[in-house]
Amino acid sequence: MEKLFKLRENKTTVRTEILAGLTTFLSMAYILFVNPSALATTGMDMSAVFVATALAAVVGSLLMGLIANYPIGLAPGIGLSSFFAYTVCAQWGIPWETALSGVLVSGCVFIVLTVTGIREKIINAIPTELKFAVGAGIGFFIAFLGLKNAGIIVGNKATLVALGDLHNSAVLLAVFGIVITIVLMTLNINGAIFIGMAATVIVGMLFQLIDVPTQIVAPIPDISPTFGQAIFHLGDIFTPQMLIVILTFFFIDFFDTAGTLVAVANQAGFMKDNKVPRASRALFADSSATIVGSILGTSTTTSYVESTAGVAVGGRTGLTAIVIAICFALSMFFSPLLGVITSAVTTPALVIVGILMIGNVAHIDWSKFEIAVPCFMVILMMVLSFSIASGIALGFIFYPITMFFKGRYKEVHPIMYILMILFILYFVFVV
C-alpha cells in the first residue's frame, strides 16, 4: 500500500482513505439510478444501462487510482447523459446506438490529446486566478445542486428560484442532515460528512421517509442489449449533425473534467507552481473510461466533482479511488441497498463541500478588475446557467479580453487566446 499509493508522503492512512472512498461513493451513488432512468427514454434497456454505468465507474475509478494516484471517482456524467438522451436522441432524432458511437469517438480524441500532452498543456496554461475561480464556482454549483435535488430550493415563475416547502418531510430530512453535519464539522469530528450521511439514513428509516431494504442481494442484469453497439454503428457518425454531437461531448467533458481535476487538486493541496501534478495520467484514465463506457453502453464517463467530499474527509491518494471502484462493483450485487441513498442523504455532503470549496475566492485578487471580471463570470454563470462548462467558457472568454485592454496581453498564454476563440465558436454554433 505504501509503495503503491505513498500514504505517508500524502499524510494519510488506509483507514482514512477507505472512509473517503465510502463518502465519495455515497455522494456519487445516485448516478446508478439517474443515468439508467435518463437513457431509458431513448429506448435503451434500463437494466443493461445500470450494469454499464456501474462497470464504467469501476474501470474509470480503478484507472484513476492505479495510474494517476488521485482520490477521484469516475462515472457517467449526469449532464452529459441528459444531453445524450434529451437533445441528441429526443430532439435531434439520432438513434441511441449512433449516439454511443459519438461518445466512443470523442473518447478516442481525448486519448490522442492526452498522449500527445496537449490536454495537460491546456490545463496548465490556465491562470492561477481562474483555477481558484473554477474551484469556488464548482463549490457554489454543487451546493445549489444538492439544495435543488432535496427540494430546499425550488423553481418559481415569479422569482425563478425560491425556498421550498419546509413542511415537507423529505425536505426536513435533508435539513436535518445539513444541520447535524455542520455541527459535526464544527466540532472537528473526523469523518463528519460520512457520519452525517449515515445519521440521515437512519433517521429517514425511523420516520419511514426512506424504505428499509427488503432484499439484500439481486442478480446482475444482462448487459448484452447495449454492449458493443457503439462499435457496430461507427459507420453512421459521418454526418454534419454527428460532428456537432461529438464536439459537444468533447467540449463539455473536457472542461468538466478539467474543472474537477483543478478543484480536487486545489482542495487536497496538490497544486505546485500553478500546475496539476500527474495531470496527463488523470486525463488518460478519464479518456479511457469514456471509451470503455461507450462500448459497455452508457454516455460519457467523467471525473466527479463529488470526489471533493472524499477529499474533505481526508482522502489524498488513489486508494480512495480504488475503494470507490470496489463499491461500484459491489453495487451490481447489492443494488437493493442503494435505494436508501436519496437526495436528502447526499445533500448534506454537497452543501458542506460547497462551503469548503468557496474558500478559493480568498486567493483571487479582487482589487484588479481585469482579474475580477473573468473570475466573477466563472463563479456566477456556473450557477445561473446550471453548467460547469458554460461558466468556465464565459470566464475564459472574458480573461483574454480584460487582460488585453489592460495592457497585460503578454502575460496571457497563447493557448488562452485560442480557447477564447473556440469558446466563442462553441456558443455560436453548439449551445
The predicted-structure confidence for 288-316, as pLDDT tens digits, reads as follows: 999 999 999 999 998 887 888 899 888 99
What pLDDT score was predicted for residue 359?
84
pLDDT (average), residues 198-202: 91
Residue 430 has pLDDT above 70, yes or no: no
Residue 164 has pLDDT above 90, yes or no: yes
Q: Whose CA is closest to 260, among 227, 207, 303, 324?
A: 303
Q: Are strands 160-163 and 74-76 parallel, antiparallel or unpaired?
A: unpaired
Write the DSSP assignment of 116-176 as a string of letters. TTHHHHHHHHS-HHHHHHHHHHHHHHHHHHHHHHTTSEEEETTTEEEE--TTSHHHHHHHH
Residue 263 has pLDDT above 90, yes or no: no
What pLDDT score was predicted for residue 139?
84
Span 78-89, pLDDT tens digits:
777 877 887 789
Contact 23, 314 (CB under 8 A): no
Residue 254 has pLDDT above 80, yes or no: no
Tell the burial category of 228 from Cβ atoms under 10 Å away from its Cβ (0-12, 13-18, 19+).
middle
Residue 152 has pLDDT above 90, yes or no: yes
What pLDDT score was predicted for residue 261?
81
Residue 322 has pLDDT above 90, yes or no: yes
| Euclidean distance between CA atoms 39 and 45, whole angstroms | 8
